[in-house]
Amino acid sequence: MRWNWWMVLIAAVLLVPLMQYERYAAVPATNQPQFSHPAGNYNTDFVLRVTSPDRTAVVLLTDDGTDPTAADVYSESIWLHGPRTAVLRARLQWADGTLGPIVTHHYLIGLRSPIPVLSLAILPSDLWDETRGIYTNFNQRGADWERPANLFLYDPAVGRGWASNHSLAIHGSDSRRLAKKSLRLYFRDAAFDPSRIIYQNEQEVITSFFGFSPPHDFRQLVLASGGQDSSEFGGNWTLLRDVVTDGVARDLLGYGVRSRPVLLFINGEPWGIYYLRERFDERLLEQGLGLERPQLLDSPALEPEPLFTPEYQAWQELLAYVNTADMSQPQALAQVAAQIDLANFIDYHIVQFYTAPADWPTLNYQFFRPDVPGGRWHWYFWDTDYALGLQPLDPAYPASTVTSDTYSHLMEFPADQQGAAHAQLFQRLWENDEFRTQFRTRLLTLLRTTLSPEQMEARIETHAAALAPIIAYETGRWPQQSRWEDNVEELRQFARQRPLILRQQFGMGSNEQ
């Protein structure tokens, strides 16, 4: 048969993965197996062959995340058919028992996902072993409970993929007990050096993924499960509440965690929809906002560590002042305004009152300031999945509802409960006429604009549209007691009704401007 040049070209194109593979661990070619197809994303099925460049060595191969052993001798071609992901780990073994380095290849076949796909490879024992597994010992924390893993991230928006080694840990607090757990990714060198050496190429890829320029120095990323806004906890789960509120925070405050939904696979098994998101910490404040030596306090009553830090002492001094001064006086408000950004403080509370989180202010209040003369405190949104009308399946847990009066809850918050200090700061400022005027004016403005039914519904629609084509990957992996589509409509109803209810709770007429 005579081949024309165009036939050769077509054949070559069909054998090229539909992406660019950004980076792979560099090991000598003579010491590693050779794959007939590069790792990556493929739209069609194909036959994969793995060979040894050394005739005296055999190929050992596994497809379940385990390290290849002498019992895993590769003997025949592999038919990779979709839709699926495959994680193949291979190494060479010589006659004297010498083993070569393990090479991990991720293959995405026929997924055609409109959102990025993230494939993780990790030893199953590092997840499920009774003594060392991070899933079975989910309450354990610290560096001793990080496990080495390998990831492959493919972004269909740019047709590119990227692979990296990293360490993996369980992320979160109360959500750790749920079957669908959030995960944290640490980017370090192969030896887990505490200095956390980061590859420049990794930073460029991650930065591009989130849309930043210039590159940021990411040390940690979070794979967020949806937390309480997932089907095991929320009766009206959507996986949308956090990302919707994060967008509001960025618009109002000028900063907020960036995230993108991903389809997660672990050792080739579908794990549902997650959000790959930034980890909010001092490094992000420094690089993302340009803050000089940022100081961050995170629900300080929960953490004993910062009790003797300068920033914690400054926070305590501020609380002592507002609890002893006559806050109705203009000079008292001016004194507080020199220490906190009042506009930020007001916007933060308006959004909290709007979203009605059921676990606030007991949990999840974060604030920070630059460590410079005159540096003022700013408040930050984090972990808002237990809000926007979320109804827990377990009636023992409090619910967020469209009629929740979060303002009254804060004003009446008991002084002996966790989070009381934060509540007292707002209560004391509310005694000031000028503060109340500023607050009410800003509330009316936001209810007409950022928090209006039209704008909030548009946010919901944007994020729901991204998940709708692949929601079956979530419902097929995690059992649910309600339809996602019905729950999204309920979230829309919250957005339509909440502004009027909030006006009523603050004694405002429906037409007051």
* pLDDT tier for residue 307 given thresholds of 50, 70 and 90: low
CA gap 365, 360 in Å, rounded: 8
- State the average pLDDT for the chain: 87
Alpha-carbon span 224 to 242, nearest angstrom: 10
Residue 26 has pLDDT above 60, yes or no: no
Q: Is 476 exposed, middle or buried (0-12, 13-18, 19+ CB in 10 A)?
A: exposed
- Give the percent of the chain with pLDDT over 90: 67
Name the token pair of 328: 């109705």
Residue 349 has pLDDT above 70, yes or no: yes
Q: What does the alpha-carbon distance between residue 40 and residue 152 come to, in Å, rounded to a whole number?
A: 8
Give CA–CA dist 148/479, Å, rounded.
Answer: 29
Listed range (287-301, 448-462, 490-504) with the worst mean pLDDT? 287-301
10 Å CB burial of residue 242 (0-12, 13-18, 19+) is buried
Average pLDDT over residues 459-474: 97
CATH 2.60.40 fits 27-108, yes or no: yes
Percentage of the chain lying above the pLDDT 70 cut:
85
Question: What is the tens place of the pLDDT at every residue in 52-87?
Answer: 999 999 999 999 999 999 999 999 999 999 999 999
Burial 328-364 (b: 16+ CB within 10 A, else e): eeeebbeebbebbbbebbbbbbbbbbbbbbbbbbbbb
How big is the CA angle at 153 (ends 149 and 156), to the nearest 5 degrees? 165
**Rounded to whole angstroms, how far apart are CA atoms 430 and 452?**
24
- φ/ψ region of 278 (left if φ > 0, alpha if ψ in -120 to 50, else beta) reads beta
Q: How many CB atoms lie within 10 A of CB 272?
A: 22
Helix (H, G, I), strand (E, B) or coil at 276: strand
In this prediction, residue 216 carries a pLDDT of: 61
By C-alpha distance, which of 64, 161, 158, 147 is closest to 118? Answer: 161
| pLDDT one-digit tens code per residue, 395-425 | 999 999 999 999 999 999 998 888 888 899 9
Mean pLDDT (whole number) for 429-438: 98
Nearest-CA neighbor of 35 among 48, 54, 26? 48
Take residue 128 and report the two structure tokens written for it.
Answer: 């499920």
Q: Among 178, 165, 172, 252, which Cα is nearest to 443's?
A: 252
Give CA separation, 214 vs 287, 476, 508, in Å. Answer: 10, 39, 45
What is the distance between the alpha carbons of residues 395 and 398, in angstroms, rounded to a whole number? 7
- Mean pLDDT over 287-295 rounds to 71
pLDDT digits (tens, 9 = 90+) for 175-229: 899 999 999 998 765 444 433 334 445 566 666 777 765 556 667 889 999 999 9
**Averaged pLDDT, 321-346:** 97
Q: Can you spell out the DSSP letters for 230-264? A: STTTBTT--S-HHHHHHHHHHHHHS----EEEEEE
Query: Higher pLDDT residue, 463 or 21?
Result: 463
16 pLDDT tier (thresholds 50, 70, 90): very low
Residue 431's pLDDT band (boundaries 50, 70, 90)?
Answer: very high
Burial class (CB in 10 A: 0-12, 13-18, 19+), 153: buried
510 and 447 in contact (C-beta within 8 Å)?
no
Residue type, 310: P
C-alpha to C-alpha distance for 168 and 135, rounded to whole angstroms: 11
What band does 14 get if pLDDT is binned at 50, 70 and 90? very low
- Read off the pLDDT of residues 230-261 as tens digits, 9 standing for 90 and up: 999 999 999 999 999 999 998 998 777 888 99
Which residue type, as a one-letter code, is found at position 469? P
Q: What number is the average pLDDT over the span 330-349?
A: 97
pLDDT, tens digit (0-9, with 9 covering 90-100), for 258-284: 889 999 999 999 999 999 998 877 777
Question: Which CA distances in Å does 303 have to 122, 174, 206, 380, 477?
Answer: 31, 15, 30, 18, 35
**Tokens 């949990």 belong to which residue?**
363
Query: What number is the average pLDDT over the span 102-115?
Result: 96
